[in-house]
Amino acid sequence: MFSERMKKLTPYIPGEQPQDRKYLKLNTNENPYPPSPWIKTFLKSFDIEKLRLYPDPLFQNLRAKIAQGCGVQSENVFISNGSDEALSFSFYAFFDSCQGELLFPEFTYSFYPVYCDFYGIKYEKIPLRDDFRIDIEAFLTKKDSCGIIFPNPNAPTGICLSIKSLIHLLDNYSQDRVIIIDEAYVDFGGESAVSLIDRYRNLLIIKTFSKSMSLAGLRLGFAIGSKELIQALFTVKDSFNSYPAGMLAQLIGAIAISDTAYYQSITEKIIQTRDYFYSELKRLGWNVLPSKANFIFAEKKGTPGEEIYLRLKARGILVRHFNVQGINNFVRITIGTKKEMDLFLDEVEKIF
């Protein structure tokens, strides 16, 4: 009844979305503020008759809006059902096990090895430096790899590489192998590499509406790269599902991307709360990594990460713990509102 392929799969485990009680949810890097108010106004007057028709398989309006916002052409933009799907299509389109291993950091987004196994791509994990930074030089010593992927800022560490480091990597790596920068969290203080796509035809940037745009429930992501890379993603999409982004998702995405003032204001609040929370946790004696994302990766020396996670959960606070050697003393804490983070800090002071 089941394929051999399916039986060998080890799926990605998403963060908990428990329905049993109300938690303070600081475990999946969701945005604590609502999406743009323009979306509410739009939905109130949306004519549902329009849903009779299939959505635009070329996403033309949304791509034009994104292109305008990012300073690229529509032909440089691809749309997906969440950025996870853009990642999945990219693994299929650009990485091939017969060309050597795909490289990514040892501690990073745990969906990458899942896609590798799914598509039969060999991979190698490159250790982080002692300070948990991505080690660009170590990537460059691997001459026969089939490509590189990492998030910037990295997840779950939150540490960001400078554009200068990315240029160094791009300049010294084969221009015939794709480098993917997953910019899921870049809006929270990192510097986007989008402006580099004209210079490097092998650079693909993946972005999402889930984090800074507060639309995780909508499932919308996008990729930006040279026309040839984007064309390859369309080829994969049209061999799998012509309509990954529904009509409402495309319309709402186009509205969200236009409301820059609103999104700047909520992003600024999250950054301020993160920097405040970082100092407070340090004051309480935690070891906290410097973050440019909407989460903090931190450890309380002497207390295993799993214990922190369980004790907080018992008090109605969810954080993310990874049972992985090397980072299992850490927990990843999403930045909520200032009030939520104060509540977290109060509980932490009581528990530990």
Query: Which positions lie near ligand PLP, rule CB under 6 A?
Result: 29, 82-84, 109, 151, 155, 182, 184, 208, 210, 216, 221
Minimum gap (Å) between residue 21 Cβ and ligand PLP: 23
The Cα–Cα gap between 220 and 211 comes to 11
Report the residue closest to ligand PLP, judged by CB.
Answer: 82
Which DSSP string do the residues of 265-324 spell out, in sequence order?
Answer: HHHHHHHHHHHHHHHHHHHTT-EE---SSSEEEEEBTTB-HHHHHHHHHHTTEE-B----
Nearer to ligand PLP, 156 or 305 (CB): 156
User: Diameter of the chain by CA atoms?
Assistant: 59
Instruction: Please check whether residue 328 is in contact with residue 314, taking contact to mean a CB–CB distance below 8 angstroms.
Output: no
Q: Using the structure block, give the residue that is written with the tokens 């394929």.
A: 3
Minimum gap (Å) between residue 152 Cβ and ligand PLP: 9
What residues have CB less than 8 Å from 331, skipping those under 6 apart? Answer: 297, 298, 299, 305, 308, 309, 312, 319, 320, 321
Alpha-carbon torsion 78, 71, 83, 96, what sign?
Answer: positive
Measured CA angle at 136 (ends 332, 124), to 5 deg: 75
Nearer to ligand PLP, 18 or 285 (CB): 18
Nearer to ligand PLP, 184 or 245 (CB): 184
**First vs last C-alpha separation in the chain:** 51
- C-alpha distances (whole Å) from 244 to each of 9, 78, 177, 194, 237 are 23, 11, 26, 23, 8
Minimum gap (Å) between residue 312 Cβ and ligand PLP: 20
Nearer to ligand PLP, 83 or 273 (CB): 83
Nearer to ligand PLP, 83 or 145 (CB): 83
Nearer to ligand PLP, 65 or 300 (CB): 65
Among 213, 179, 174, which residue's Cα sits nearest to residue 197? 179
Minimum gap (Å) between residue 302 Cβ and ligand PLP: 28
Minimum gap (Å) between residue 2 Cβ and ligand PLP: 26
Minimum gap (Å) between residue 215 Cβ and ligand PLP: 9
Nearer to ligand PLP, 55 or 244 (CB): 244
The residue count for the chain: 352
Minimum gap (Å) between residue 108 Cβ and ligand PLP: 8
Measured CA angle at 219 (ends 216, 222), to 5 deg: 105
Minimum gap (Å) between residue 257 Cβ and ligand PLP: 14
Nearer to ligand PLP, 86 or 170 (CB): 86
